[in-house]
């Protein structure tokens, strides 16, 4: 008997046209990120940067964002869903950007974490650990693993060993399409199996209250032979330290 697919399962698999819209939205977001990084200066506020991001999108003909931009400086980066405020950027701060836009109703999503002027030993350790957790998850997908909870576990177990439980409080990622959070989901108890043709975020993070947090997020397309990374922004530690 043929399995009947549910709407969310059908919707998860992207056609060439749908994928082209997602990639276009991502390329616009990457431009917005470059302009935003160039705009940073000591003393600028999170709100000023969030407004700049919105204006940059408008100047590229985009008037619908995937969600309100997350801009966090310093200790605020420990808040997963921080709303930009009047906090000013200072040397040694962690900076977190999480934003995306829509093209023909299709969303993009990306997070990058930076260090303003310098990074402490502890900041570097967290960053490199989160990056390695991401690589562990992507490595599973590359080898053909499609069970969401196994992929989530590969990153989560590593981070839990390094930083203890509850420092990575959200799922490893989610499907992206006409809504920013779509089936399937990377979560510890998820029973989802990734279909070929779906677009997923991979976004491990570590959040230390009173210190700060690091999250790195890419969007990947699940393919027959593995995956294709749709995010074209460097994320090595060297590129994360802004001089």
| CATH number for 176 | 3.90.230.10
Measured at the CA of 120, the angle between CA 132 and CA 113, to 5 degrees, comes to 50
Question: What is the distance between the alpha carbons of residues 121 and 113, in angstroms, rounded to a whole number?
Answer: 16
pLDDT at residue 13 is higher than 60 = yes
Tell me the mean pLDDT in the region 155-164.
97
pLDDT at residue 36 is higher than 80 = yes
Tell me the mean pLDDT in the region 99-126.
97
- Is 143 domain-assigned? yes
Question: What is the distance between the alpha carbons of residues 138 and 204, in angstroms, rounded to a whole number?
Answer: 11
Query: Model's pTM, two decimal places?
Result: 0.96
3-state secondary structure (DSSP) of residue 105: coil
3-state secondary structure (DSSP) of residue 69: coil
- Is 86 domain-assigned? yes
pLDDT at res. 4: 66
Lowest mean pLDDT, pick from 6-10, 113-117, 150-154, 225-229: 6-10
pLDDT at res. 145: 97
Q: List 70's β-bridge partners, or say none.
A: 98
pLDDT at res. 73: 98
- Is 51 domain-assigned? yes
- Is the peptide bond preceding residue 205 cis, with omega within 30 degrees of 0? no
Q: For residue 200, give both structure tokens.
A: 């997923």
- Is 57 domain-assigned? yes
**pLDDT tens sequence across 16-31:** 999 999 999 999 999 9
Lowest mean pLDDT, pick from 2-11, 52-61, 113-122, 156-165: 2-11
Q: At what angle do helices 46-59 and 16-39 cross, to 10 degrees?
A: 130
**pLDDT tens sequence across 193-241:** 999 999 999 999 999 999 999 999 999 999 999 999 999 999 999 999 9
Nearest to 219 by CA among 49, 54, 27: 27
- Is 20 domain-assigned? yes
User: Whole domain around residue 93: which residue ranges?
Assistant: 7-242
Question: What is the distance between the alpha carbons of residues 72 and 130, in angstroms, rounded to a whole number?
Answer: 18
pLDDT, averaged across the chain: 96
- Is 137 domain-assigned? yes
- Is 206 domain-assigned? yes
Percent of the chain with pLDDT over 70: 98
**pLDDT band at residue 3 under the 50/70/90 scheme:** low
pLDDT at res. 2: 56
Contacts of 50 (CB under 8 A, 6+ apart): 68, 69, 71, 84
- Is 2 domain-assigned? no
Q: List 97's β-bridge partners, or say none.
A: 71, 112
**pLDDT tens sequence across 125-155:** 999 999 999 999 999 999 999 999 999 999 9
Looking at the structure of the chain, the number of domains it has is 1
Nearest to 194 by CA among 155, 144, 241, 240: 144
**pLDDT band at residue 1 under the 50/70/90 scheme:** low
pLDDT at res. 243: 83
């Amino acid at each position: 008997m043929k399995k009947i697919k549910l709407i969310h399962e059908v919707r998860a698999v992207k056609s060439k046209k749908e994928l082209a819209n997602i990639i276009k939205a991502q390329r616009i977001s990457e431009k917005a990120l470059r302009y935003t990084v160039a705009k940073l200066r000591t003393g600028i506020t999170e709100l000023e940067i969030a407004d700049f991001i919105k204006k940059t999108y408008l100047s590229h003909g985009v008037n619908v964002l995937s969600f309100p931009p997350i801009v966090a400086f310093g200790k605020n980066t420990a808040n997963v869903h921080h709303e930009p405020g009047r906090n000013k950027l200072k040397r040694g701060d962690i900076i977190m950007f999480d934003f995306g836009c829509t093209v023909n109703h299709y969303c993009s999503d990306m997070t990058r974490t930076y260090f303003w002027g310098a990074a402490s030993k502890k900041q570097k350790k967290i960053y490199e650990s989160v990056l390695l957790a991401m690589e562990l998850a992507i490595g599973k997908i590359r080898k053909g693993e499609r069970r969401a909870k196994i992929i989530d576990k590969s990153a989560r177990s590593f981070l839990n060993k390094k930083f203890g439980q509850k420092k990575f409080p959200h799922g490893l990622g989610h499907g992206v399409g006409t809504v920013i959070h779509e089936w399937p989901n990377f979560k510890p108890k998820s029973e989802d199996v990734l279909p070929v043709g779906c677009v997923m975020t991979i976004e491990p993070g570590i959040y230390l209250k009173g210190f700060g947090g690091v999250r790195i997020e890419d969007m990947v397309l699940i393919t027959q032979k593995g995956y294709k990374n749709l995010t074209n922004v460097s994320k090595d530690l060297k590129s994360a330290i802004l001089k």
